[in-house]
Amino acid sequence: MRPLGCTLSGGLVFFSPVINRVLRLSIPFLLGIGMLLVYYSIYDYNTYLELASLSFLYFIPPAGKESLIPAAIAMGIPWLTICATLTFIDIISCLFMLWNFEILVLIPVIGPRLIRLMHRGREILSKHAWLERLYLVGLAVFVFLPLQGTGAVSGTVLGKMAGMPPIEIFCAISIGSALHSFIIGLSAYALNKYLGLNLWYLVVFILGIIILISVVSFLWYRYVGNECQPEQS
């Protein structure tokens, strides 16, 4: 059996680079399909469709744990199930990034986005040196933060920028994502069960805040940011 650190580095098989690449590309997708098949076998069809829909929505901004978890609970999905689902999606997304980063940066649409994330990672590391010093704990805290752009993909890029070993990046993403998901899930469940809060109001409020912040950030960087940049001679 191969060591976990070697496996997370992408060395799944040693005798064929082609098979190794195929495995690195396909295993995360197969894990995702396996998750959906498990849900199909244990939940009724409507619940399965809701879980599958929320899983796909998780990849579309501005949807995130802060809005999807309360929405799932409002739909009657057990909070433990949706929290485990989004955590597992973060884990397989981290695996896919670790194993295929050098290919992803070459894809026309995805590549430029990853390059922007790398530039943002350099800025974050230059402003917050503690992230680099604390390594695993710092990256876990970064993924845990309830902010846009602090999820598994950005965390994986930041970990690679900091020179962390793949096994440390994987552990940090898993821990940070799990803490983030289950704290939000438990809080939303408690608000609904013990305070009688209609979670759809919470979802609308959170999405409104996210959209407002995104618009303000865009306008700031579009107009104020450009004016602050020094002119090139």
Per-residue pLDDT tens over the stretch 50-92: 999 999 999 887 778 888 999 999 999 999 999 999 999 999 9
What is the per-residue pLDDT across 175-190, written as a single tens digit (0 to 9) for each? Answer: 999 999 999 999 999 9
Q: What angle do CA 164, 158, 225 make, to 5 degrees?
A: 150
Please indicate, yes or no, if residue 223 is contained in any of the structural domains.
no
Q: Print the domain residue range for 47.
A: 4-203
Residues 6+ apart with CB under 8 A from 221: none
Please indicate, yes or no, if residue 121 is contained in any of the structural domains.
yes
Please indicate, yes or no, if residue 212 is contained in any of the structural domains.
no
Report the length, in residues, of the chain: 233
Please indicate, yes or no, if residue 57 is contained in any of the structural domains.
yes
Please indicate, yes or no, if residue 224 is contained in any of the structural domains.
no
Please indicate, yes or no, if residue 227 is contained in any of the structural domains.
no
What pLDDT was estimated at residue 1?
56
Q: Where does residue 145 fall: left (phi above 0), alpha (psi -120 to 50 degrees), or beta otherwise? A: beta
For the chain, what is the domain count?
1
Please indicate, yes or no, if residue 199 is contained in any of the structural domains.
yes
Please indicate, yes or no, if residue 107 is contained in any of the structural domains.
yes
Q: Taken in order 222, 224, 225, 229, is the CA torsion positive or negative?
A: positive
